[in-house]
Structure 1
Amino acid sequence: MSRERDGGTGTGGGSGTGARTGEGSGTGGGTAAAAILAASAGTGTGTGTALGTGTGGGAAFGPVAAHLSHRVPDLGALELLLAVARLGSLGAAAREVGITQPAASSRIRSMERQLGVALVDRSPRGSRLTDAGALVTDWARRIVEAAESFDAGVQALRGRRDSRLRVVASMTIAEYLLPGWLIALRAERPDTAVSLQAGNSAVVAQRLLAGEADLGFVEGLAVPDGLDGTVVAHDRLAVVVAPSHPWARRRAPITPSELAATPLVLREHGSGTRQVLDAALAGHGGLARPLLELASTTAVKAAAVSGAGPAVLSELAIAEELSSRRLVAVPVEGARLSRDLRAVWPTGHRPTGPARDLLSLTRARPAG
């Protein structure tokens, strides 16, 4: 972690009277703790990355990019020191921060060793800050207040992120799987507004890479370039015809070559269904010119039901039509028509918040 830090290089020419400005006479370039010690004493050889600007009088805040020193205490220790300063008792401070008094005493001693200065004078009457401890406490108060502001800001960012979820999915997943997943998500996150966009697998990738969606789902053969993904379900494609089509009465399976040579009702290029079919028939002459090329699963299904011609559709999309005999599945032998359904997201940006929860639900409620 780097940040603009108060710092100095060279020799400090101050008179040693500036407890807050770090006008010690020591050389610059060391730790915050040593600078605090030099500033509190007014003289000495304490080094001061945190205080002083180098030569001359040493302004308090000289912007120098640096890494946090190993001598900077953690926030928990600083909060404990502030409680001791406010309550005047190590025991009361321990109770306030929720630890035992021995643990609090050990933490204060550890911080004193870390900084190299004594912070607290302990006596039967209570605990009193040393001069250096008072200076460190003043610094600690500003650090803790800044941390509280940082935490509040991060919580606001998380709240804004969690208030909405933008999902983009290819047609079959959008129509037949996502509704159930989104209903389950609403039960877990009732305050999250969800928007769902549907498109082919190429459109899903484009919208994710453009930052227009938080999580996507695709049906193609592989994860699109620029995205990471995980398999959430499995699916098979089926060749279907209307009951009046001659293929509905044939007994022998369709061969890949016969299927490739037949004009079909197809999804458009870029769809996961088309990718799988193109790959399955690539070694058999490739697809014939489509009878119809349509942009949605519903449209392809409607055309097949009307008797326009054979179609290739996801088994998820045709279960009702097969059950009611509005469509008839035609066996195909020798072609691989199965596929994986994947959740995808931009490479290196693992889903968080509602997107992460939706991804978990796809695994808890598998389909296909």
Structure 2
Amino acid sequence: MALHPEQLLTFAAVARSGSLTAAARERHLSQPSVSSQLKLLASSVGEPLLIRHRLGMRLTPAGEALLPHAQALGRALEGARLFAAELQGLQRGTLRVVASNTLAAHVLPRALAAFHARHPAVTLNIQTANTHGAVRALLAGETDLALIEGPAQPPTEGIRASVIGHDTLRLILPPGHPLNRPQLNAADLQGLPVIWRESGSGTREVAEGVLRQAGVTVRPVLELAGTEAIKEAVISGLGAAFVSELSVRRERAAGQLASPALTLPGLNRDLTALTPDVPSRTAHALLDELLALSHREQTLGKQTDPEQAGG
């Protein structure tokens, strides 16, 4: 026995109006189509549902018993339409983001603040992971948006990559370190004791690749999860480290960390947002905020850079 939703909705419309003509108008159908749907529904139920009388249509006992179910279907569909409309207008919904530690701390907060101001009813679910963890979460369908440090090349088909900014890796040292000079070359770094981020970190992968390409071998002394722990270890004199320029602006300005310029290519990297090819509306809206923030920062950088400002 197959009961079709459209037939039940037409039946409820006839019961509500008591007229085939009025039901046809409400359902945007022809009157013969309404009659056909009612016959098919009665056949599926196995009992007559309506009886004609001189004032219109009257429900049979079977029709009266079926009507609450048809009405519940109508309410459920109307609720689903309202839900979809609210989602499309971002009047409700959930946004799931997994961001690498650097982006979670130094890029995401301002974009989230702007997003929340525009869409306060959307629930935010924000998690941090290293770059590999963020990509895995996206591929597993556990997040709507992954923010990573690294190239914009999507990791697999069905994933869209957008560059949302740029970053530079900096070598950081305690201020009293012997290598605290204005500029260092590859030879200066040979055998340098280095504190590394955990395996899977985008920062670590880029730094290791740069050193490998330059033929530099460093001496790993410690592995820590998270940039804050790395910075504290360097300040304490445990070794040097490679971190995002975004993460050490305050410490460099305060003189807590030294960061000599390096004559090594490849230390610049993209900051990338990954979404499915067809992103959720919430992910698309946050991506717009991230791109707008990046554009504002680039414009401000050009205005404050004397070389670019002077042409």
TM-score class normalised by the smaller sequence? 0.5 to 0.7
CA 86–315 in structure 1, closer or farther in 2 if over 3 Å, else same: same
Structure having the larger proportion of residues in helix: 2
Root mean square deviation of aligned Cα = 3.8
Give the match for residue 31 of structure 1. Answer: none
Partner-residue secondary structure (3-state), 2:134? helix
What is the DSSP-based 3-state SS (H/G/I as helix, E as strand, rest coil) of the residue aligned with 1:291?
strand
Question: Which one of 283, 297, 304 corresponds to residue 355 of structure 1?
Answer: 283
CA shift digits 1:272-322 (9 cap, x unpaired): 101111221222335423122111011111112222222211111011111
Match of 2:242 in 1: 312
Q: CA contact under 8 A between 1:264 and 1:291: conserved in structure 2?
A: yes
Q: How does 1:110-189 map to 2 (within 5 A)?
A: 132=32, 135=35, 150=77, 152-153=79-80, 155-156=82-83, 162-189=92-119
> How do 1:230-245 residues align onto structure 2 when only pairs under 5 Å count?
230-245=162-177
- Larger gyration radius, structure 1 or structure 2: 1
Instruction: Note the C-alpha offset of 1:266.
Output: 1.8
Instruction: Indicate whether 1:85 and 2:85 are aligned.
Output: no
Q: Specify which of 154, 160, 165 is matched with residue 228 of structure 1.
A: 160
CA separation in 2, counterparts of 1:61 and 1:237? 64
User: C-alpha displacement at 1:152, in angstroms?
Assistant: 3.6
Alignment match, 1:125? none
Partners of 1:147 and 1:323 in 2: CA distance: 64
Contact residue 215 and residue 344 of structure 1 kept, 8 A: yes
Secondary structure of residue in 1 paired with 2:237 = coil
Classify the secondary structure of the residue corresponding to 2:189: helix
Is 1:278 equivalent to 2:208 in the alignment?
yes
Structure 2 contact 214–264 (Cα < 8 Å) conserved: no
1:158–1:314 Cα change, 3 Å:
farther
Q: Offset at 1:166? A: 1.7
- Distance change in 2, residues 1:62/1:216 (3 Å): closer
User: Is 1:259 aligned with 2:182?
Assistant: no
Aligned partner letter, 2:146: G
Q: Could you tell me whether the CA contact under 8 Å between 2:20 and 2:34 is conserved in 1?
A: no
Match of 2:52 in 1: none
Structure 1 portions without partners, runs of 5+: 1-59, 64-78, 98-107, 112-118, 120-128
- Kept after mapping to 2: 8 A contact 1:260/1:284: no
Deviation at 1:234, TM superposition (A): 0.6
Which residue of structure 1 lines up, in the alignment, with residue 232 of structure 2? 302
Q: Is 2:233 aligned against 1:292?
A: no
Distance 1:201 1:195 in 2: 18
Structure 1 pair 313/156, CA: closer, same or farther in 2 (3 Å)? same
1:365 to 282, 285, 293: 293
TM-score (norm 1): 0.58
Q: Deviations over 1:108-165 (max 9, x none)?
A: 9xx9xxxxxxx6xxxxxxxxx6xx46636869x9xxx989855643544676894322
Judging changes above 3 Å, is the alpha-carbon distance between structure 1 residues 353 and 287 closer, same or farther for their aligned structure 2 residues?
Answer: farther
CA contact (8 A) 1:278 1:287 kept: no
Q: Which amino acid aligns with 1:230?
A: S
Give, as a single letter, the amino acid of the residue that structure 2 aligns with 1:233.
G
Is 308-317 or 219-228 further displaced after alignment?
A: 219-228
Picking from 109, 116, 140, the partner of 1:210 is: 140
Where relative contact order (Cα < 8 A, 6+ residues apart) is larger, the structure is 2
CA spacing shift, 1:135–1:289, aligned 2, 3 Å = same
